[in-house]
Amino acid sequence: MPQPIDLLAIRAHPDDESSSTGGLLAKVAAEGRRTAVIICTGGEEGEIHDPDLEYEEAFPRLKSIRESELRAACEILQVSELRMLGYRDSGMAGTESNAHPEAFCNADLEESSRKVASIIRELRPRVIVTDNQWGGYGHPDHIMSHRSAMGGFRLAADPSADLDGEPWQVERVYVMASVPRSWADMIELMRNEGLDTSSLEERLHRQRERSIEIPETPVTLVVDVADHVETRTTALFKHRTQIKADSQWMMLPAHLRRVAFAKTNLLRVYPEPAEGERDEDIFPEAVTSG
């Protein structure tokens, strides 16, 4: 049995571990703590931006390619344990791939929760971080990631659950907080340095078009990961199929990347915080303040 884990991130696709939680995972690992990642799908519906790959040849084996990319990224982030839940990528909301019988969005929630619970009992994490209930921007796999994580968290602690392993009570569960990011301010900073912002503005416009209306959620913890932004960037670049080599976000000067990705905003959902309660640290030994 592996040593207990301090932080477990439960994410939908290969590259999610790096894009939204990479700085956090790197920070926790740099503190000498053990981290783990559960990835729910194989990312079969992802893009292929790797210039060394031919789309027609590579797409049928995208799942295995993305797993290799994931393992390389996790090594950079010093992730101690990686587990794959084994579901199929559902694709973006409203696409034909949503109807695939093996798509994660069509999975039996009890089954997926049991899979997560079994891994939780095996790894014995203190803290879990996962997607919020809206799936960030309404992606069906991120929604199922949240639902499966929460179901698994509860089952893992239930002594009556018919699961292998001893019951395990996670101390805290956080979700990624939905907060308005000041992209306009970042674009202005780029313009002040004479950087072209056209493709970034176009990308953000497309992202808004495909997003559902997501309510702003409270933030109970802001983690400063500025010192680990470059580790996160290096890990994200390992996902060569998903990240364009000339991506404006990735090609920002280091000092602007540090500003753009300096903070990870989280909402604690277990134990449910009192009104106005804030955490000083992700781990429970830190003092909380009201």
Which structural domains are found in the chain, ordered by start?
7-179+216-289 (3.40.50.10320)
E strands present in 42-170? 81-87, 127-130
Give Cα separations from 69 to 17, 19, 45, 72, 220 (angstroms): 11, 13, 15, 5, 32
pLDDT at 208: 61
pLDDT at 115 over 60: yes
Query: How far is CA 99 from its chain centroid?
Result: 24
Torsion sign, CA atoms 248, 252, 257, 259? negative
Please list, residue by residue across 56-69, b when 16 or more beta carbons sit within 10 angstroms of its beta carbon and e when fewer do: eeebeebbebbbeb
Average pLDDT value for residue range 79-98:
95
Between 118 and 181, the higher pLDDT residue: 118
Q: Torsion over CA of 76, 42, 133 and 34, rounded to 10 degrees?
A: -30
Strand 172-176 with 221-224, pairing: unpaired
Residue 189 pLDDT level (bands cut at 50, 70, 90): confident
Measured CA to CA, the distance from residue 167 to residue 148 in angstroms comes to: 17
Read off the tokens for 33: 């703590």
Task: Express each pLDDT in 129-184 by its tens digit.
Answer: 999 988 777 789 999 999 999 999 999 999 999 999 999 999 999 999 866 555 66
**Of 5-19, 23-37, 38-52, 133-147, where does mean pLDDT reach its minimum?**
133-147
pLDDT at 64: 98
| pTM across the whole model | 0.91
Cβ count within 10 A of residue 201:
14
